[in-house]
A and B are shown apart, each in its own frame.
Chain A
Amino acid sequence: QVQLQESGPGLVKPSETLSLTCTVSGDSINTYYWSWIRQPPGRALEWIGYIYYSGNTNYNPSLRSRVTMSVDTSKNQFSLNLNSVTAADTAVYYCARTKGASPFDDWGQGTLVTVSS
């Protein structure tokens, strides 16, 4: 049974960079596609993008100019950087797994990131 766990600061200042890491256990990261998804409080889900273990990425055009994802196969981790954050980036951030063009079949518990000075 794969498990995903997000980690990172819960508070980020406006204009700074939000950085999160997802640690995968119970399965190798060297398969599947690994996504970040966010959910502002009381609102719907938004897919941010995915990274494949090879490093190939696909970002949501709405965030592409501010997003960078990376993968560390030696640690079975992948990461999200979102720069120039504003209050609109306050959300619960989830990491999740897909097999490509397929649904998200496993999710982390999510981590709330608040953007505030």
Chain B
Amino acid sequence: IVMTQSPDSLAVSLGERATINCKSSQTVLYGSNNKNYLAWYQQKPGQPPKLLLYWASTRESGVPDRFSGSGSGTDFTLTISSLQAEDLAVYYCQQYYTTPWTFGQGTKVEIK
């Protein structure tokens, strides 16, 4: 499954909303449990990725509620409702519906 994110980079003012899109080349919605096998990660320079959201919209423990996920099937969105300075990073979506598990190319979030 090919994961395609848009945009490749995004400049947002502090306190404003940031929206990142992720599209999969085939569905990642498993019909028998109605779950989307889609995760979002945040990666800061020199650090490993950090899990933010899974099942497309469930926040990992400790992740601020300004991070939210939506979408189903093949189209997904990560929203940062009010950008903070510490949110500057590259964000990746990843499907775990089927192997090989695959990631999007990443979206870099910068300050405007």
- Hey, which bits of chain A sit against chain B, CB under 8 A? 35, 44-47, 58, 60-62, 94, 96, 98, 101-105, 107-110
Contacts and interface: CB of A to CB of B under 8 A. Distances in A.
Interface of B: 37, 39, 41, 47-51, 54, 60, 92, 94, 96-97, 99-106
B103 A47 contact: yes
A61 B49 contact: no
A101 B38 CA distance: 10
B92 A45 contact: yes
A48 B103 CA distance: 12
Question: Which of B41, B48, B105 has most A Cβ within 10 Å?
Answer: B48
Contacts of A102: 54, 96
A8 B52 CA distance: 29
Nearest to A45: B103
A58 B100 CA distance: 8
B37 A101 contact: yes
B97 A44 contact: no
Contacts of A104: 39, 41, 49, 51, 94
